[in-house]
């Protein structure tokens, strides 16, 4: 009788931990999905607000570069999370050297791939510039020079397309 009373006493206490396993599982799914999306989409994490304009559809696979302004510097982020910076008012081409080296290495990789596969894809050697709306043309000019230095002849500006 005492044991039964004790059991009843214990069972009357509320079990407050039961939602936590579900919440933990839900949180893990959201975190995992967030990390995967961060890895796949180069635009996440780059503070680039591109212009909204209906243009021919962008094919995946190009050399994506996000260009935006941070304090008094122009920042270029790439699809593999590399960052290059130089001053807004800088006229020194030497500050572009790291970006040029990066672009040259991308082009070289693509050239090897083309030679080995014996097929070329024009999209993969096209540079896609996602330019923040706050920038002016003189801020972007060094990036175009860097593309020319890296022997990239085709490039384009990314626009956001909103479907109605």
Partner 1 sequence: MTASTTLQLKISRTKKRLSNNVWYLPLIVLASAGLLIYLSSTLRAISMAGRYGLVEAEIPVLAVPMDDGTFTRFKEQSTESLGDRTPLLLLTREAFIFGTLKAFATDLSSVRDKFYVPHEEGAPHLPKLSLDLSKWMLEKSEESEGSLPRVLIFMPTEDIPMPIVIQCLAALKKSGLFDKIIIGGGLV
Q: Using CB under 8 A, list all residues that contact partner 1.
A: 2, 5-6, 9-10, 13-14, 16, 23, 27, 30-31, 33-34, 37-38, 41, 43-44, 50-51, 53-59, 126, 128, 131-141, 144-145, 147-148, 151-163
φ, ψ of residue 117 to 5 degrees: the values are: -80, -15
Three-class SS state of 40: helix
Coil, strand or helix: which one is 1? coil
Q: How far is the CB of 123 from partner 1 (least distance, A)?
A: 10
CB of 85: closest distance to partner 1 in angstroms? 18
3-state class (DSSP) for residue 77: strand
Rounded to whole angstroms, the Cα distance separating 154 from 59 reads 14
In the block, tokens 């896609």 appear at 128
Cβ distance to partner 1 smaller for residue 85 or 88: 88
Which is nearer to partner 1, 115 or 148 (by Cβ)? 148
Length of the chain counted residue by residue: 164
Q: How near is the Cβ of 113 to partner 1 at its closest, in Å?
A: 20
Place of tokens 């500050």: 95
Name the minimum Å distance from CB 148 to partner 1.
Answer: 5
């Amino acid at each position: 009788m005492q044991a039964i009373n004790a059991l009843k006493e214990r069972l009357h206490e509320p079990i407050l931990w039961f939602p936590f396993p579900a919440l933990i599982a839900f949180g893990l799914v959201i975190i995992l999905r967030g990390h995967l999306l961060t890895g796949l989409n180069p635009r996440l994490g780059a503070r680039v607000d591109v212009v909204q304009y209906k243009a021919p559809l962008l094919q995946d696979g190009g050399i994506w570069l996000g260009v935006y302004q941070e304090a008094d510097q122009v920042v270029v982020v790439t699809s593999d999370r590399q960052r290059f910076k130089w001053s807004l008012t800088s006229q020194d081409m030497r500050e572009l050297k790291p970006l040029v080296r990066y672009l040259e290495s991308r082009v070289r990789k693509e050239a090897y791939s083309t030679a080995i596969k014996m097929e070329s894809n024009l999209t993969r050697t096209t540079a896609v510039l996602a330019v923040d709306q706050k920038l002016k043309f003189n801020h972007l000019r060094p990036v175009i020079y860097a593309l020319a230095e890296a022997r990239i002849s085709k490039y384009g500006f990314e626009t956001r397309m909103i479907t109605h």
